Amino acid sequence: MAAIRQIKELPGDPIGGASGGKTFFDVRFLGKTSSPEFPYTVANEVVATQIGMSLGLNLPTVITHTVGGTTVALIQWMDRDPSMQEPPLATAAALRDYVADHPDEVHGARIFDLFIANNDRAFGPMRRNLLLGDDGRLLLYDHGDACLYRPRPDANIRAGIPRLDAVESELPAMFDMDHKGNHYREFLTDWKLVDRWCERIRLLPEYLIRAAVARIPESSPQPDADERQRLVKFLIARRGYLLEHRVRWQVCFPGLPRRGGGVA
């Protein structure tokens, strides 16, 4: 469950009423804002979370708020499974065991990342942005580099619409962070599970995608109207060609057996 502190209701508090069991809770959130270096952080967190939850994946709740004139993505702080409280190498071992025992969920998480163009799912001994929650399920967090991404001038990468255009053209365009030692792509090992999750994404209703992008606060200066519209079109189209991209560029996924139609 989430990191929650219950605030006991006192007699006379105006919280009662027609429905029972009402209680105040103090819930902890991590706040993330956009910046010149990361102009789309809030938007990326909002859209990725909405879509991931719709697919049945386990992500912390994200809400938005304006604090001192700044738009903030508030990400609910979640408690961790006891195995995640150990030193890094021990937690890495616990995650490896989870991957072996829950292939469907792991494939779903990875296909989800490919859909939202999230290149920053780390799974290394010292660096990662997934864990096991206190319910024992895989918890996916940190989607600030999904979708519209961020500018990386040293790598000749432009964020926003140019990023969407590049990833739409070639799947490998989203894999520009391999130098950080992210270990995750190799966990795709079963084409049946890949097919299943690509089909689930293909069936996402168009209105749900539009609603996810519409949740980006209007108070956020980026993305602008053209970028929001392009993101909607990108995600709607990506539902249909995601599996084709997976087959064509299967060389990017060393854990999968070869399937006809891939590039060398």
Give tens-digit pLDDT for 187-234.
Answer: 899 999 999 999 999 999 999 999 999 999 999 989 999 999 999 999
Task: Please tell me the distance from the alpha carbon of residue 34 to that of residue 36, in angstroms, as a whole number.
Answer: 7
* Higher pLDDT, residue 192 or 17: 192
Show the DSSP H helices in the chain as ranges. 41-54, 88-101, 103-115, 161-169, 191-202, 206-214, 225-248
Is the pLDDT score of 247 beyond 80? yes
> In whole angstroms, what separates CA 166 from the centre of its chain?
19
Residue 145, both tokens: 């580099």
Separation in Å, CA 113 to CA 9, 21, 101, 219: 42, 38, 20, 27
Say what the pLDDT of residue 173 is.
94
Give the residue carrying structure tokens 């408690």. 79
Is residue 176 situated within a structural domain? yes
Residue 9, in any domain of the structure: no
Closest CA to 131 of 82, 61, 186: 82
> Which tokens in the block code for residue 113?
């990342």
Torsion of the alpha carbons at 219, 224, 228 and 230, rounded to the nearest 10: 180
pLDDT digits (tens, 9 = 90+) for 70-119: 999 999 987 766 665 555 555 667 677 777 888 999 899 999 999 999 98
Total number of domains in the chain: 1
What pLDDT was estimated at residue 204?
98
The confidence band for 1, taking pLDDT boundaries of 50, 70 and 90, is very low
Judged against a pLDDT cut of 90, whether residue 126 lies above it is answered with no
User: What's the mean pLDDT when you consider all of the chain?
Assistant: 85
For residue range 157-198, what is the model confidence (pLDDT) as tens digits? Answer: 999 999 999 999 999 999 987 766 666 788 899 999 999 999
Summary count for the chain: helices (H), strands (E): 7, 7
pLDDT at 239 over 50: yes
**Mean pLDDT in residue range 249-256:** 91
* 154 part of a folded domain: yes
Phi and psi, residue 140, nearest 5° = -100, 130
CA distance 131 to 140: 7
Note whether 162 and 152 are within 8 A (CB): no
Residue 17 within a domain? no
Q: Which domain holds residue 47?
A: 29-252
Would the pLDDT of 254 be above 70? yes
Cis check: omega of the bond before 223, within 30 degrees of 0: yes
Q: Is the pLDDT of residue 8 over 70?
A: no
d(CA 194, CA 202) in angstroms, rounded, equals 12
Q: Write out the H or E segment, with its range, that includes residue 138.
A: strand 138-140
pTM here is: 0.87
C-beta atoms surrounding 50 within 10 Å: 19
What pLDDT, in 10s, does the model give residues 46-60? 999 999 999 999 999
